[in-house]
Amino acid sequence: MKTQYEANSLSLTGAVAMGTGVMIGAGIFALTGQVAQSAGALFPWAFLVAAIISGFSAYSYIKMSNAFPSAGGIAMYLRKAYGEGTVTGAAALLMAVSMVISESLVARTFGAYTMRLFSVEGGSIFVPILAVALVFFAFLVNIAGNTVIGPLQKVTATIKIGGILIFALAALWISDLPLGSVRGGSVGERGPASFLAGVALAILAYKGFTTITNSGGEVKDPHKNVSRAIVISLGICVVVYMAVALAVGASLSIPEIIAARDYSLAEASRPLLGNYGMGFTVIIAVIATTSGIIASMFAVSRMLAMLTEMQIIPHRHFGMPGSVQKHTLVFTAILAGLLAGFFDLSRIASLGAVFYLVMDIIVHWGVLRHVRKEVQANPIILVSAIVLDLVVLGAFLWVKGQADLAILWIAFGGIGAVFAFEHFFLRKRRPSNAHREHEPMM
């Protein structure tokens, strides 16, 4: 059973809306408080440094998308670099799982912000209930296909970007602090490792650009527009993130941001803009998180469908009708719902950071080692991307290991399980000499 891709069904504007939809939904609302907890008074600049690192990372994806646009996106890039083997399957699954983790992060954020309309704290049982409900709604929208998703993303992207900028500019205008200052914050209160750990989390706010690559086979003129959409999306998001982070810092002290880390933007709007401002911010958050999870599900389900067609992951339809992509959409929704129901925001963000950075390093190494000349990539930029990822990942592991060692065991246990699963699945499914893969020298 084949997936049903719709060639030329996404315009450049639609692809940008999809990228910003995932990034802004999962980024500034979900991660501002988490980043501030690590980076302290420098947290706005953590978003800027994360944007720079994401720019280096985007280089590999842009070069690959220009050469090999595909609905499989990253899965196809990995196959070009490593062949159809364990590394390709495991790294692609890590990307898919990290995106599902982001969906659960967005869903929990939706629940936390929605409950602020009723002055209910983030620990309420209604937060996971609302999170799971959002996952189900996003599943229903995705079932409807691109004819619904494309126009919906354009409308919601305009509303949320405009709304967020209104909040940020109003807060900065009213604030009595110099631009770039954080209320009651000391710049030297956190060490370099903590700042870099905050950068690692902030990178999650930008990784949504990869969803554009997963729809390469559906974007009009993909050899040009996929890379254009990535660059435009990153540019929009860094402006939005910096404006919002500076506004939050001008409104709340670092302890106040940390205390309200699951709904920090809503809390930041209250001192400066009152209850009406808080309500406005919550509504924008609900729109942003809803559109974010819809866009992410769209990309993940297609990526998993491509892996199925490549025979890199197993597939069972369990009696479900429709295409493979519809089936993978069901599996994506189930996993996102489980994570949203049972993990808090901090642990979800930690899992997502580790999974994504490990996968990102594997992609860069594959391009550098195996297809650099074919895609005409600059090795200095590729090496820089790998080094930057390693630095922030190392700092994050160091800081998180002191605060929550269990989540690191879960993260690396999960990575090990993914590689082991792929190894044994492929060995059982194919004769050992039927398919060869490049072995990464890592």
DSSP of 337-365: HHHHHH--HHHHHHHHHHHHHHHHHHHHH
Contact 107, 333 (CB under 8 A): no
Cross-strand bridge partners of residue 437: 83
For residues 302-327, average pLDDT = 75
Q: Give pLDDT tens digits for 282-299.
A: 888 888 888 778 877 877
Contact 219, 225 (CB under 8 A): yes
Query: Rounded to an integer, what is the distance from CA 241 to the centroid of its chain?
Result: 14
In whole angstroms, give the CA distance from residue 300 to residue 262. 25
- Read off the DSSP letter of residue 4: -
pLDDT confidence of residue 383: 97
SS3 call for 438:
coil
Query: Rounded to an integer, what is the distance from CA 323 to the centroid of its chain?
Result: 26
In whole angstroms, give the CA distance from residue 392 to residue 206. 15
In whole angstroms, give the CA distance from residue 251 to residue 175. 7
Taking residue 137's Cβ as centre, other Cβ atoms within 10 Å add up to 16
pLDDT confidence of residue 1: 39
Q: Give pLDDT tens digits for 316-337.
A: 766 676 677 788 888 888 888 8
In whole angstroms, give the CA distance from residue 74 to residue 380. 21
In whole angstroms, give the CA distance from residue 338 to residue 104. 8
Helices 264-309 and 86-116: angle between axes, nearest 10 degrees:
150
Cross-strand bridge partners of residue 219: 10
pLDDT confidence of residue 436: 44
CA distances from 81 to 55, 259, 287, 340 (A): 21, 44, 38, 33
For residues 27-36, average pLDDT = 82
Q: Give pLDDT tens digits for 114-135.
A: 888 777 765 678 888 999 999 9
pLDDT confidence of residue 416: 94
Higher-pLDDT residue of 397 and 267 is 397
Buried b / exposed e over 218-227, threshold 16 CB at 10 Å, is bbeebeebbb
pLDDT confidence of residue 201: 92
In whole angstroms, give the CA distance from residue 232 to residue 255. 34
pLDDT confidence of residue 9: 58
Nearest to 105 by CA among 305, 343, 326: 343
Contact 117, 104 (CB under 8 A): no
pLDDT confidence of residue 360: 94
pLDDT confidence of residue 178: 64
User: Quick check: 186 pLDDT over 60?
Assistant: no
Reported as a pLDDT band with limits 50, 70 and 90, residue 260 is confident
> Taking all residues of the chain, what is their mean pLDDT, rounded to a whole number?
81
